[in-house]
């Protein structure tokens, strides 16, 4: 197979859209990706399927005169969403959908890889088809399993996320943080149950939970710099069984979101202090569990991002839009904490939002995205030589 054509890219995207799979279950997706990749000219390619992470695919493209390895990551998993688009190529997997557009992400990556299989790059390239972005932090798993070592270690890493609010094919980016980091919050309060008529003989978990929730809302307003952005949302509360029994247990679940890792950690520390105070004042046991995993803030490297933005702005064929930070999470943030790199948006122009069952990305974004990214990578490789000379 030569470089993928427009029609082939659309066919690939629609096939991927029909076979969405959840985190670490992407076996059909994995096999289809391999099937497509193996049809490319293999002269410059080395394909790796890591046994430690069997639904991942890694492809190394050998450069003509490499001075570094440029990494490109795409996520491959889907969401537990029942599709409502009515498309003829809608999901064939009940209760699962590419409602975050990872089918678009994969297709763009395959388009880039097909180009470089025919046009040998100057530098080495590393393509990482990553499982488990939506949950189970596949990027962190890959890093901790040692997949990015030796010749598979990128010197810089890039990745995109589709954005229905931007015009089809537009590139969006910003200096600093693109996506917030996220941390799951679980609080278990264990008190002592009793009859509603005799509260003095009980330790009311509901009252303790209510006070904890109220106090927690002061963390962002009173402990975080108002110029910065942080969120603590406690979205779920379970307690009690019947109206005339004092509950002995309450569970609160929520999320922390912040634009920097120190901010997320500070919110967590303040929440722990409040939990300790609630335990003392209400004479209950309070257990706080914070689970961040690999969902760190997506903090773009200043030097690399300035080059990407300058290139996109200077190219008259590319629509570039400087975007605001988003409070959505993305596990590419963990990899950007380990390797310098940049994440950017690719516009897919749709009325529906990400994760919506009606998301229908504009497929014109695929060719436009491939063209813009290819031009940037080629520029970046040539720029390396100019900078070092």
The secondary structure of 114-176 as a DSSP string is HHHHHS--SSEEEEEEE--SSSS-HHHHHHHTT-S-GGG--SEEEEEEEETTS-TT-EEE-SS
User: End of a domain among 291, 316, 349?
Assistant: 291
Asked whether residue 367 falls in the same domain as residue 348, the answer is: yes
Asked whether residue 42 falls in the same domain as residue 173, the answer is: yes
User: End of a domain among 245, 262, 291?
Assistant: 291
Looking up residue 344, the CATH number of its domain turns out to be 3.40.630.10
Q: Which of 8, 26, 77, 134 is an active site residue?
A: 134
Residue 343 belongs to some domain of the structure:
yes
Q: Which of 26, 75, 103, 204 is an active site residue?
A: 75
- Name which of 61, 64, 55 is nearest 110 in CA terms: 61
Q: Which domain holds residue 227?
A: 181-291
Q: Give yes or no: 75 in active site.
A: yes
Residue 363 belongs to some domain of the structure:
yes
- Contacts of residue 329, defined as CB under 8 A and 6 or more positions apart, other chains included, come to 179, 180, 181, 182, 257, 295
Asked whether residue 232 falls in the same domain as residue 248, the answer is: yes
Residue 1 belongs to some domain of the structure:
no
| Per-residue pLDDT of the chain in tens (389 residues, 90 and over written 9) | 679 999 999 999 999 999 999 999 999 999 999 999 999 999 999 999 999 999 999 999 999 999 999 999 999 999 999 999 999 999 999 999 999 999 999 999 999 999 999 999 999 999 999 999 999 999 999 999 999 999 999 999 999 999 999 999 999 999 999 999 999 999 999 999 999 999 999 999 999 999 999 999 999 999 999 888 899 999 999 999 999 999 999 999 999 999 999 999 999 999 999 999 999 999 999 999 999 999 999 999 999 999 999 999 999 999 999 999 999 999 999 999 999 999 999 999 999 999 999 999 999 999 999 999 999 999 999 975 555 44
Asked whether residue 219 falls in the same domain as residue 303, the answer is: no
Asked whether residue 203 falls in the same domain as residue 335, the answer is: no
102 is in an annotated binding site: yes
Residue 136 burial (CB count, 10 A): 17
134 is in an annotated binding site: yes
Asked whether residue 87 falls in the same domain as residue 203, the answer is: no
Asked whether residue 118 falls in the same domain as residue 215, the answer is: no
Asked whether residue 26 falls in the same domain as residue 166, the answer is: yes
Looking up residue 284, the CATH number of its domain turns out to be 3.30.70.360
Asked whether residue 303 falls in the same domain as residue 250, the answer is: no
Asked whether residue 10 falls in the same domain as residue 137, the answer is: yes
Asked whether residue 51 falls in the same domain as residue 103, the answer is: yes
Number of domains in the chain: 2
**pTM passes above 0.85:** yes
- Name which of 293, 288, 284 is nearest 219 in CA terms: 288
CA distance 144 to 138: 10
Asked whether residue 167 falls in the same domain as residue 206, the answer is: no
User: End of a domain among 291, 323, 345?
Assistant: 291
């Amino acid at each position: 197979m030569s470089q993928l054509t427009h029609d082939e890219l659309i066919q690939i995207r629609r096939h991927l859209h029909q076979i969405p799979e959840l985190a670490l279950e992407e076996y059909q997706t994995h096999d289809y990706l391999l099937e497509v990749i193996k049809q490319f000219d293999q002269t410059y390619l080395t394909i790796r399927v890591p046994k430690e992470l069997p639904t991942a695919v890694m492809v190394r493209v050998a450069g003509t005169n490499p001075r570094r390895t440029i990494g490109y990551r795409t996520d491959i998993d889907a969401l537990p969403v029942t599709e409502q688009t009515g498309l003829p190529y809608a999901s064939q997997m009940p209760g699962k959908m590419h409602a975050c557009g990872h089918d678009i992400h994969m297709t763009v990556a395959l388009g880039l890889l097909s180009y470089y299989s025919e046009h040998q790059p100057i530098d080495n390239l590393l393509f990482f088809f990553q499982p488990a972005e939506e949950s189970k932090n596949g990027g962190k798993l890959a890093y901790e399993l040692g997949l990015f070592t030796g010749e598979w270690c990128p010197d810089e890493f890039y990745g995109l996320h589709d954005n229905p609010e931007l015009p089809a094919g537009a590139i969006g980016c910003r200096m600093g943080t693109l996506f917030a980091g996220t941390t799951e919050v679980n609080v278990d309060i264990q008190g002592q149950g009793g009859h509603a008529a005799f509260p003095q003989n009980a330790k009311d978990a509901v009252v303790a939970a209510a006070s904890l929730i109220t106090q927690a809302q002061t963390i962002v307003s009173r402990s975080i710099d108002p110029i910065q952005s942080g969120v603590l949302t406690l979205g779920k509360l379970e307690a009690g069984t019947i109206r005339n029994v004092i509950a002995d247990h309450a569970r609160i679940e929520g999320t922390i979101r912040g634009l920097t890792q120190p901010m997320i950690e500070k919110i967590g520390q303040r929440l722990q202090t409040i939990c300790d105070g609630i335990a003392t004042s209400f004479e209950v046991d309070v257990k706080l569990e914070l689970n961040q995993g690999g969902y760190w803030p997506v903090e773009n490297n200043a030097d690399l991002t300035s080059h990407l933005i300058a290139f996109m702005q200077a190219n008259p064929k590319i629509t570039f839009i400087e975007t605001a930070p988003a409070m959505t999470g993305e596990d590419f943030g963990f990899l950007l904490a380990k390797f310098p790199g940049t994440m950017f948006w690719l516009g897919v122009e749709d009325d529906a939002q990400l994760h919506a069952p009606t998301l229908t990305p504009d497929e014109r974004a695929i060719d436009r995205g491939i063209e813009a990214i290819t031009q940037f990578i080629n520029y970046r490789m040539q720029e390396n030589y100019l900078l070092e000379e």
